[in-house]
Amino acid sequence: MMKILPTELVSTLEKQQYFIAGHHSAVKICTYTHKSLKQEDVCYKQKFYGIETHRCMQVTPSVAWCSHRCQFCWRSESWAMGDNMDGSVIDPPEDIVPQMIFGQRKLLSGYGGNPLVPREKWEDSMIPKHVAISLSGEPTLYPHLGELIQEFHDYGMTTFLVTNGSRPDVLATLDPLPTQLYVTVPAPDERTFRKITRPFNAKEGWQKLMETLDLLPELDTRKVIRLTLVKHFNMHSPEKYAELFIRSGAHFLEAKGFSSVGSARENLGHEYMPHYEYIVEFSEKIVEGTPIKIIDGSISGAVTLMAYEDYPWRKQIPRPVPKKFFKTG
């Protein structure tokens, strides 16, 4: 029998405002998209990389499959179906993407009559320009990831792919590459890595991440190393984080503070959340004695952005030329 998402898990996700697309994919409105529509705030990705928060989709092709069981993960049951999708019903990208777009529009439909939301801005949000493949689970477990990225590009959307680095073999052959690739580095050493990520394959987890970092210089796209920092847990050895970033050859280094929300509250309370000032202080230790410098930050996002001094970081990300068009109905 082919594996499918259990009914009770689907019910839980839908109660948390996930829109389930097909058998294994989902879309959910990001907190910052809500805030952007109401003119309250924008995502730090808009400040750092020029995306439009109100036109960004947060999606996953593997909502309940992940190779890690991170203690800081806020996603509900993100690893409930295990660390591979073998034996599961697999939907093709050409079916998934239209369902995701429909789901995004459905979840945002209520804002059309909200007096706090400019009508033109809401209408813009119905035609997304950016997609963050990062909602839940590990996207490199989906066997048609390259085709999924191409499908988004065919709609003229930029793609931000976030991976935990457990499948360097997938990244090595990924075609096309995303507009921007994020690799999460949750620890400066293997011992801390095992403790905080609790990977299904404990023997290979750190090794696979190192293989991913060594692969990055070969991938012709913009690359970001993201540190998810948890107070009293992985905020040590800043010089080792610097070494890993330099080893990766990535363009940017983000240091982002952990948030005790969602399922993460079961493992780590608010005392593990580092405030922005603490993130800045730790980032200063990371760049000390290196050619890297802190180039930006977001207080609301509890995140700093670091890069090499000579990198033209303000350059806008080019948007793919659309080959498909959004239906207005």
Does residue 74 surpass a pLDDT of 80? no
Q: What is the pLDDT of residue 266?
A: 59
Q: What is the pLDDT of residue 272?
A: 67
Of 86 and 79, which is predicted with more confidence?
86
Does residue 18 surpass a pLDDT of 90? yes
Q: What is the pLDDT of residue 187?
A: 96
Q: CA dihedral in degrees (198, 199, 204, 207; nearest 10)?
A: -70
- pLDDT single digits (tens) 164-177: 999 999 999 999 99
> What's the mean per-residue pLDDT of the chain?
90
The CATH number, out of the four listed (1.10.40.50, 3.20.20.70, 3.10.20.30, 3.90.79.10), of the domain defined by the range 7-308: 3.20.20.70
Lowest mean pLDDT among 43-52, 60-69, 298-307, 314-323: 314-323
Give the pLDDT band (50/70/90) at residue 206: very high
Give the pLDDT band (50/70/90) at residue 96: very high
- pLDDT single digits (tens) 233-278: 899 999 999 999 999 999 999 999 876 445 545 555 556 678 899 9
Does residue 71 surpass a pLDDT of 90? no
Give the count of beta carbons closer than 10 Å to the beta carbon of residue 172: 12
Those residues whose C-beta lies under 8 Å from the C-beta of residue 98, and which sit 6 or more positions away, are none
Q: Rounded CA gap, 281 and 296, in Å?
A: 13
> What ranges do the domains of the chain cover?
7-308
Does residue 4 surpass a pLDDT of 90? no
Got the DSSP string for 147-198? Answer: HHHHHHHHTT-EEEEEE-S--HHHHHH-SSPPSEEEEE---SSHHHHHHHH-
Q: What is the pLDDT of residue 262?
A: 52
Token pair of 116 as six digits: 């706090």
Q: Rounded CA gap, 32 and 162, in Å?
A: 17
Q: What is the pLDDT of residue 310?
A: 78
Token pair of 182 as six digits: 């994020």
Is-contact 305 283, C-beta < 8 A? no
